[in-house]
């Protein structure tokens, strides 16, 4: 009996990377990945290096005729939400077109979305946000992607699931939405400068309820949703399952770097970290860190936007639990553990 084959689009971001590693380690699946980047060593998958903005990118790709499942985790950043919609919708459409042209026996699709569906990029929103909440006025590109999937699923006979994580933390380079890297680099440079670790966000963000999604937990949810009948045709929020306040977790972060804390000092990290490349290069040389260019470590603008959120960011996860996925993590322990692992693996000093 042939194994099912999963196509993972966007396998090298913080989300897609965790999903690709999880699925490639599962002997029950054959894995194909699609990205503009070249293949990563050590991943048990067949990599197709293409640009999905090209409508012919997947034309004549015979291996796609084996694909039974699709996990779509690609994302293309643009300056505004309005500009973001067209390319991200186009890439999804070209992926589906390529599978149709190849005659793939597609059964199920998983789309990774996020908290923007609830308007958290706009400001304070209804909490806890639930999957049944009415949509907001766009542009919100997740809505367009979901509508396209619904149209194609009805036409072509596959089913789909939408998973909505929020503030995903994990291991990835060159991914702008990676708060873990921002925390780690900011703390490392603060320690090297001999200054305590200060929370750089707003006073409101310091005390508001926030949440995260561990990338490996999300990958487990993807693995579950690929085959669970209860996931068919559904949208699920996926977070660690708890909430926290930065004021209560900040000491745990500092302890992961063996450094003291001090009172918060609101600042723009995009401005404050702009000139820190020489300092990072010195740290990299002194500690034998991996040769990662400074500009690929994180997006300081992304960190600034999260730490300016002076309102609660809470999504309900009861729906996915009732459907059968019970994964959860303690976020305090999760963040500190991930940061220590980045240090052990020589991403951070």
DSSP assignment string, 8-74:
EESTTSHHHHHHHHHHHT-TT-EEEEEESSPPPTT--SEEEE--TTSTTTTTT-GGGGG--EEEE--
Whole-angstrom Cα distance, residue 298 to residue 171? 11
Residue 37: pLDDT over 90: no
Residue 38: pLDDT over 80: no
The per-residue pLDDT for range 228-279, each reduced to its tens digit, is 999 999 999 999 999 999 999 999 999 999 999 999 999 999 999 999 999 9
The whole-number pLDDT of residue 10 equals: 95
Residue 154: pLDDT over 70: yes
Burial 290-310 (b: 16+ CB within 10 A, else e): eebeeeebbbbebbbebbebe
The whole-number pLDDT of residue 2 equals: 85
Mean pLDDT, range 145-149, rounded to an integer: 98
Residue 41: pLDDT over 70: no
The whole-number pLDDT of residue 210 equals: 98
Whole-angstrom Cα distance, residue 144 to residue 162? 13
**Closest of 165, 123, 127 to residue 310, by C-alpha:** 123
Burial 89-115 (b: 16+ CB within 10 A, else e): bebbbbbbbbbeebebebbbbbbbbbb
Neighbours of 312 (CB within 10 A): 20
Could you tell me how far CA 277 lies from the centroid of its own chain?
25
Mean pLDDT, range 78-85, rounded to an integer: 93
Radius of gyration of the chain from its Cα atoms, rounded to whole angstroms: 20
Q: How confident is the model at residue 42 (pLDDT cuts 50, 70, 90)?
A: confident
- Is 214 buried (19+), middle (13-18) or exposed (0-12) by CB count in 10 A? buried
Neighbours of 198 (CB within 10 A): 17
Handedness of CA 333, 222, 303, 135 (dihedral sign): negative
pTM recorded for the entire structure: 0.97
Residue 109: pLDDT over 70: yes
- Which residues have a Cβ under 8 Å from the Cβ of 150 and sit 6 or more positions away? 160
The per-residue pLDDT for range 321-338, each reduced to its tens digit, is 999 999 999 999 999 999
Mean pLDDT, range 164-190, rounded to an integer: 92
The whole-number pLDDT of residue 101 equals: 97
Tell me if 222 sits within 8 A of 280, measured CB to CB. Answer: no
For tokens 């923007």, the residue is 116
**Closest of 92, 87, 10, 22 to residue 48, by C-alpha:** 10
Mean pLDDT, range 54-83, rounded to an integer: 95
Element (H, E) at 237: strand 235-237
**Structural domains of the chain ordered from first start:** 5-167+214-237 (3.40.50.720), 172-211+243-315+329-344 (no CATH)
> For residue 55, what are the CA distances in angstroms to 50, 52, 60?
11, 7, 12
CA angle 243, 23, 219 (to 5 degrees): 10
- 346 DSSP 8-state letter: T
Mean pLDDT, the chain, integer:
96
The whole-number pLDDT of residue 1 equals: 64
Longest Cα–Cα distance of the chain, Å, equals 61
Residue 190: pLDDT over 70: yes
Mean pLDDT, range 13-30, rounded to an integer: 96
Neighbours of 285 (CB within 10 A): 10
The whole-number pLDDT of residue 189 equals: 99
The whole-number pLDDT of residue 40 equals: 67
Residue 7: pLDDT over 90: yes
Phi-psi region of 157 (alpha: psi -120 to 50; beta: other; left: phi over 0): left
Residue 348: pLDDT over 90: yes
The per-residue pLDDT for range 300-322, each reduced to its tens digit, is 999 999 999 999 999 999 999 99
């Amino acid at each position: 009996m042939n194994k099912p084959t999963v196509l993972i689009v966007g396998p090298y971001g913080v989300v897609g990377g965790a999903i690709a590693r999880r699925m490639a380690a599962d002997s029950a699946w054959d894995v194909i990945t699609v990205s503009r980047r070249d293949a990563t060593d050590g991943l048990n998958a067949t990599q197709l290096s293409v640009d999905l903005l090209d409508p012919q990118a997947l034309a004549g790709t015979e291996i796609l005729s084996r694909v039974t499942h699709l996990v779509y985790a690609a994302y293309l950043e643009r300056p505004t939400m309005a500009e973001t919609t067209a390319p991200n919708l186009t890439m999804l459409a070209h992926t589906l077109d390529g599978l149709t042209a190849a005659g793939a026996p597609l059964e199920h699709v998983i789309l990774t979305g996020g908290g923007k569906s609830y308007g958290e990029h706009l400001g304070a929103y209804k909490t806890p946000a639930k999957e049944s909440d009415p949509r907001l006025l766009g542009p919100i590109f997740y809505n367009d992607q979901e509508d396209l999937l619904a149209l194609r699923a009805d036409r072509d006979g596959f089913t789909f699931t939408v998973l909505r994580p929020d503030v995903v933390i994990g291991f990835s380079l060159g991914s702008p939405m990676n708060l873990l890297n921002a925390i780690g680099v900011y703390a490392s440079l603060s320690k090297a400068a001999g200054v305590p670790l200060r929370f750089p966000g707003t006073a409101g963000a310091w005390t508001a309820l926030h949440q995260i999604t561990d990338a490996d937990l999300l990958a487990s949810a993807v693995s579950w949703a690929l085959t669970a009948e209860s996931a068919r045709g559904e949208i699920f929020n996926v977070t660690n399952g708890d909430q926290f306040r930065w004021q209560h977790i900040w000491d745990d972060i500092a302890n992961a770097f063996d450094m003291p804390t001090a009172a918060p000092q609101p600042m723009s990290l995009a401005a404050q970290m702009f000139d820190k490349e020489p300092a990072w290069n010195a740290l990299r040389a002194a500690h034998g860190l991996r040769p990662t260019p400074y500009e690929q470590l994180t997006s300081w603008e992304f960190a600034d936007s999260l730490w300016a959120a002076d309102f609660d960011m809470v999504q309900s996860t009861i729906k996915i639990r009732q459907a059968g996925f019970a994964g959860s993590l303690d976020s305090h322990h999760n963040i500190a553990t991930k940061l220590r692992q980045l240090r052990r693996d020589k991403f951070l000093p």
